Every structure is written in structure tokens, then in C-alpha cells.
């Protein structure tokens, strides 16, 4: 989904930080906060090495912020560029080192169902070339590795009343003939083969081309892989031909399998709950006494539904990394804390406990597990929106939003590895050695008004991994995963893609809330010679700089 349009200001408080201590090991990473700048709004960040500047989108102010990063410990706002002449607000920014530094910004139209724009700037925020027309709701853009081709994922969301539903697409913009004469082509989904269980479930049965909504993409220059979050699928794009080859459904994660568990309820763990923990006579009274309910739940399947996607090379092959956030469609787009409202035009979401009111009953293994402390409050997809799902009758499976994990995939769409329930386990329990956990943030929200309510996101996507970036640190590829709700950046060693190894963690909440985008800066491009992470935090409107160092 595009970035929120409402800026929430967080109260200033002490920094919560958990990083790997210094041990005699080379496979850990220290993620050290170096500096922070408040821009007023921050969602996606990109970096230009030659000028040592970061470019940060601010949808709430309809602006692009330019930040001086020459001293990573003291980033400073240089200039804010007004984007209102170009549209209703920016959703993404990317930088090419060519043409003296080319900054591309994706700007949606008003209304968002009209074609959006790509605006080009130099590193000083001055417009270059002409404004390029994109598809409806350009949500993310990125340059090819050579910097000469720009790919734009146009989400094509419907309007709030679901009366207009534009087609999703990818715009391919080539600058081989210079900025003044770009070659612009559009890749749509009409006639593209669908392989596997692709979710097509929009209101009034739109065409697949309307239902498929590009969210994020990554490219090696020849091929691009595009996440279709609500559809639980990834599309493969031939960049040279500007043509989609296939849309592949990602299937479902078995949360009943060992190592794939999850905490399903916001009513079973909180310190305020006047109840004993399962198998115990103890009533939880503080953070350290929260009930541990991260457990396999037979009958629960997770839709991967990735938001961000990144790619890297290993063993001569391109592999993909996804942040499996999950997302529902609810129109009008509004908060539905108690499940679907009667006035909603369309929603694919319901709590397990509410499914009986929609004509469903429960068979084994769900039967007997639908109370509020078990599965009853878990938000799941309405069964009819799952490929082959029933409109009524007995259910033996439910499908939750997101997989609460990071996955590694082959370029052909085969699941190589998944972190299972490790994100929740690490935060709640630690790893038994150098990482003690971060239980005070376990499955909490990023809303400052509710940020102290422990466990209040367990019923709805848990840690909510949204952002991911891949970079090499001293010759080793790492994935850096951002958890949108509870905060925190998880580092994973990708040396063995079949077994991603947890390698580091930092959480800078409450100073930074809502990590929306991560940019990796290689040490050869870094102002201080150290690999950096630039984390754009949406709710606090802050850009956080983290230094990345191996722990030896």
C-alpha cells in the first residue's frame, strides 16, 4: 500500500538499543546508531555517494528532503523540495550515479487512480529533463545496476468506493539517449500466464490486470521481480522487452509445523491480563512475565504477501529476499479494530471468531481453538478470497496475512529458506547466547498513543516485517530487515542462502517509530568508510543512520 498520509508525532524518550556485544567472532554485526535527523516526514531514502547526500520522501508534506550525510553522526537537512506542482505526494525515490547524480521521485496523482508521474532532479533538487508519465499510483521505483534504466511499480489501487480500479503495471524508462529523450514503455498484465494459487478477489470481479497490484521490485538489469502483495504473488518482468513473462503464486506457510509458530492473540500475553499463563499458576505482572504463546497452530496457513523485495548473487545465481509483511484490502480504507464494518464497500478481512457470523463452522484442527486467547482474534482472509476457498461451510484451515518472516527464493520462485517464527522468538526469548531479546517491544504497535501496549499486534501480523535491503559487508552478503510495527532492524548472514543466520539487531524506538524503508551504503561509498544503513521512519519523520561493523 502507499505510504500513510497522516504524520504522527512521537514523544521523545530514551533510546532502546540492543546490539551484539563484542565477542571473538566474525559472523556477528554491530548495528550502531550514529546519527538522526528529523525531517518532518520520512518514508523512503536513497543515497548519492559523490555528494554524500540522502534524499528522503515525505508524503505528508508532499516534499523531498535533501540531507547532508558527510558526517553520518550529525546528518543535517539541506533543503526541502516542494513536489505539489507534480502531483498529490511522493511514494518513492531512487538515485542513479549517472548524469552527475540523477534523483528520480515517484509522485501519485489526484485522484490516485489517474496516471502518476516520475520527476527527475539533480542532487541540488533542481528539476532535470521532462516529467515522465507513469501508471496509476507509482508506488516504488528503482534504477538498474548500470543506472541507465528506471523501473516504476504502479500499484493501480482502486478508489475508496471501489468504483474505479485501474490496471497495475510497471513503467520502463530508458535514458540511453539522454535525459531529454527517454524511451518510455509500459508493461501490463493482460494475457500474462498465472501459475500457482494467485489471489484474484477484488470487488465486482475485475480483470486480472486490474486485480494485480505491483508493490515493490528488484532487478539485475535484464529481469525484474515484482511483488504483488495482496495477490500473494511475484511477477517476472523481461526488462529489455518491457513484458511480463509470468505471475507466480507464492503458496502458503504452514503455521502448524514446528518452527513456524506464531502468537495469535492480543488477549493472552499483556501484563495487564489478569489470568495465569498456560501450564502455570503465575499471573503476569510485568514485561518479564509475559506468557510465552509463540507456538505452532495446526490449521493456520500464512500468506507470504511480501512488501519489499531485494536480490543478491550466490553461487552464480540470482536469489531473492522478501519481507513478508502481509496486507488486507478494506475499502473505504479505514481502521477495522473489531472486524468488518457494515458500511464497508469491500473487505477481505475478518477475525476467526467472526467467521461463524459469515456462515462458516469449524472442523478439526480449528474446532475448540477459536476463543479469544487462542485463534479467535486472529485476523485472517475471508475464505472466499482464497483460491478455491468456500463461500460458506466447514473450515479446517484459515489463512492469515503475512508470514511474519523473511524468505529467500530462487529466481524461478522456489522457496529456498524462511526464518519461520524466529523474528517473534528472538524478540521474546533472545537467542540463548549473545542476543538477550527485546521483550519490552514484543509485537507492539508503532502508534505513539498505543506504543506501550505490549502484545497488541499479535492478532494482526505480529512484528510486521516490511522493509528489506541487501548489502555486502567485508565480502559477505547480509539482509537487513525492518519490522514496521515493533521497530527493529534484523541482520541476517546470507552466506548459506538455505540457512540465513541471525547476525545482529538494533531497535531505536521510541526515538524512531515505523521503519518504512532501508537503504544500504557500501563502505566504498560511505562518508566515513564504514557500511551504513539509512532507515526512514514514517511515524516519527526521522532518518536514522546506523553504522555496520563486524564483531570480532
So what's the pLDDT on residue 343?
A: 58
- Enumerate the domain spans of the chain: 28-333+344-551
What integer best gives the mean pLDDT of the chain?
90
Asked if residues 322 and 407 have their Cβ atoms less than 8 Å apart, the reply is: yes
> Cα(231)–Cα(348) distance, rounded to whole angstroms?
12
Which residues, at least 6 apart from 552, have a Cβ–Cβ distance to it below 8 Å?
A: 22, 24, 25, 26
The burial of 239, by beta-carbon neighbours within 10 Å (0-12 exposed, 13-18 middle, 19 or more buried), is given as buried
Beta bridge partners of 80: 65
Which residues, at least 6 apart from 409, have a Cβ–Cβ distance to it below 8 Å?
A: 234, 319, 320, 321, 322, 415, 416
pLDDT digits (tens, 9 = 90+) for 186-242: 999 999 999 999 999 988 778 999 999 999 999 999 999 999 999 999 999 999 999
> Cα(405)–Cα(419) distance, rounded to whole angstroms?
5
Closest by Cα among 545, 516, 546 to 93:
516
> Cα(188)–Cα(293) distance, rounded to whole angstroms?
44
> Cα(284)–Cα(268) distance, rounded to whole angstroms?
10
> Cα(440)–Cα(459) distance, rounded to whole angstroms?
17
Q: How far from 444 is each of 84, 354, 480, CA to CA, in Å?
A: 34, 23, 20
> Cα(531)–Cα(508) distance, rounded to whole angstroms?
18
Residue 425: in which H helix or E strand, if any?
A: helix 422-429
List the chain pLDDT tens, one digit each, 552 residues.
443 333 322 332 333 333 333 223 347 999 999 999 999 999 999 999 999 999 999 999 999 999 999 999 999 999 999 999 999 999 999 999 999 999 999 999 999 999 999 999 999 999 999 999 999 999 999 999 999 999 999 999 999 888 999 999 999 999 998 898 999 999 999 999 999 999 999 887 789 999 999 999 999 999 999 999 999 999 999 999 999 999 999 999 999 999 999 999 988 754 444 556 665 555 555 555 677 889 999 999 999 999 999 999 999 999 999 999 999 998 876 444 444 455 568 899 999 999 999 999 999 999 999 998 899 999 999 999 999 999 999 999 999 999 999 999 999 999 999 999 999 999 999 999 999 999 989 999 998 877 667 888 999 999 999 999 999 999 999 999 999 999 999 999 999 999 999 999 999 999 999 999 999 999 999 999 999 999 999 999 999 999 999 997
CATH of domain 28-333+344-551: 2.130.10.10
Q: Is 441 helix (H, G, I), strand (E, B) or coil?
A: helix
Q: Cell 543535517 sits at which residue?
A: 76
Which residues, at least 6 apart from 152, have a Cβ–Cβ distance to it below 8 Å?
A: 106, 118, 134, 135, 138, 140, 141, 170, 171, 172, 173
> Cα(2)–Cα(159) distance, rounded to whole angstroms?
13
Q: Cell 533510546 sits at which residue?
A: 15
- Determine how β-strand 360-362 pairs with β-strand 216-219: unpaired
Tell me the whole-structure pTM to 2 decimals.
0.92
Q: What are the CB-based long-range contacts (under 8 Å, 24+) for 495-500?
A: 497/314, 497/319, 497/408, 497/416, 497/417, 498/408, 498/416, 498/417, 499/417, 500/406, 500/408, 500/417, 500/419
Q: What is the largest CA-CA distance in the chain?
A: 73
**DSSP-assigned states of every residue in 256-320:** TSTT--B---SSSS-TT--SPPTT--PPP-SGGG-----B--TTEEEE---S-EEEEEETTEEEE
Amino acid at each position: 500500500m502507499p505510504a500513510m498520509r497522516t504524520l504522527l508525532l512521537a514523544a521523545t524518550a530514551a533510546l532502546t538499543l540492543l546490539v551484539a556485544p563484542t565477542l571473538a567472532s566474525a559472523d556477528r554485526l554491530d548495528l550502531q546508531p550514529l546519527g538522526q535527523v528529523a525531517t518532518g516526514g520520512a518514508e523512503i531514502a536513497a543515497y548519492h555517494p559523490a555528494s554524500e547526500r540522502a534524499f528522503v520522501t515525505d508524503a505528508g508534506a508532499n516534499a523531498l528532503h535533501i540531507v547532508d550525510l558527510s558526517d553520518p553522526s550529525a546528518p543535517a537537512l539541506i533543503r526541502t523540495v516542494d513536489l505539489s506542482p507534480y502531483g498529490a505526494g511522493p511514494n518513492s525515490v531512487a538515485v542513479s550515479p549517472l548524469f552527475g547524480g540523477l534523483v528520480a521521485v515517484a509522485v501519485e496523482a489526484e485522484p490516485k487512480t489517474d496516471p502518476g508521474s516520475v520527476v527527475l532532479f539533480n542532487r541540488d533538487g533542481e528539476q532535470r529533463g521532462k516529467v515522465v508519465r507513469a501508471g496509476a499510483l507509482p508506488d516504488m521505483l528503482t534504477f538498474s545496476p548500470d543506472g541507465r534504466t528506471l523501473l516504476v511499480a504502479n500499484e493501480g489501487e482502486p478508489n475508496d468506493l471501489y468504483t474505479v480500479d485501474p490496471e497495475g503495471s510497471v513503467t520502463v524508462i530508458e535514458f540511453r539517449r539522454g535525459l531529454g529523450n527517454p524511451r518510455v514503455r509500459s508493461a501490463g498484465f493482460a494475457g500474462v500466464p498465472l501459475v500457482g494459487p494467485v489471489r484474484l478477489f477484488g470487488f465486482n470481479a475485475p480483470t486480472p490486470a486490474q486485480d494485480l497490484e505491483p508493490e515493490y521490485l528488484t532487478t539485475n538489469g535484464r529481469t525484474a521481480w515484482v511483488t504483488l502483495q495482496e495477490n500473494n504473488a511475484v511477477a517476472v518482468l523481461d526488462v529489455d522487452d518491457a513484458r511480463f513473462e509470468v505471475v507466480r503464486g507464492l503458496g502458503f506457510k504452514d503455521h502448524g509445523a514446528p518452527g513456524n509458530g506464531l502468537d495469535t492473540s492480543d488477549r493472552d500475553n499483556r501484563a495487564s491480563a489478569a489470568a495465569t499463563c498456560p501450564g502455570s499458576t503465575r499471573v503476569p505482572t510485568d514485561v518479564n512475565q509475559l506468557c510465552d504463546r509463540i507456538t505452532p497452530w495446526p490449521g493456520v496457513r500464512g500468506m507470504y504477501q511480501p512488501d519489499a523485495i531485494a536480490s543478491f548473487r550466490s553461487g552464480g545465481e540470482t536469489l531473492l529476499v522478501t519481507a513478508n509483511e502481509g496486507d488486507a484490502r478494506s475499502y473505504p480504507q479505514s481502521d477495522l479494530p473489531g472486524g468488518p464494518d457494515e458500511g464497508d464497500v469491500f473487505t477481505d478481512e475478518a477475525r476467526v471468531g467472526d467467521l461463524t457470523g459469515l456462515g462458516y463452522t469449524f472442523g478439526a484442527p480449528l474446532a475448540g481453538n477459536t476463543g479469544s486467547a487462542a485463534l479467535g482474534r486472529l485476523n485472517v482472509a475471508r475464505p472466499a478470497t482464497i483460491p478455491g476457498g468456500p463461500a460458506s461451510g466447514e473450515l479446517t484451515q484459515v489463512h492469515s496475512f503475512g508470514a511474519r518472516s523473511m524468505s529467500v527464493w530462487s529466481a524461478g520462485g522456489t522457496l529456498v529458506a524462511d526464518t519461520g517464527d524466529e523474528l517473534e522468538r528472538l524478540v521474546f526469548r533472545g537467542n540463548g547466547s549473545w542476543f538477550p531479546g527485546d521483550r519490552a517491544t514484543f509485537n507492539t504497535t508503532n502508534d505513539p498513543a498505543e506504543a506501550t501496549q505490549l502484545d497488541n499486534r499479535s492478532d494482526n501480523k505480529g512484528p510486521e516485517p516490511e522493509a528489506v535491503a541487501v548489502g555486502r559487508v567485508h565480502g559477505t552478503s547480509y539482509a537487513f530487515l525492518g519490522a514496521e510495527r515493533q521497530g527493529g532492524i534484523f541482520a541476517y548472514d546470507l552466506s548459506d542462502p538455505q540457512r540465513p543466520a541471525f547476525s545482529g539487531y538494533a531497535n531505536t524506538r521510541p526515538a524512531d517509530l515505523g521503519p518504512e524503508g532501508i537503504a544500504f551504503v557500501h563502505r566504498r561509498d560511505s562518508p566515513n568508510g564504514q557500511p551504513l544503513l539509512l532507515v526512514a521512519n514514517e511515524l516519527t519523520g526521522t532518518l536514522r543512520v546506523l553504522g555496520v561493523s563486524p564483531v570480532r
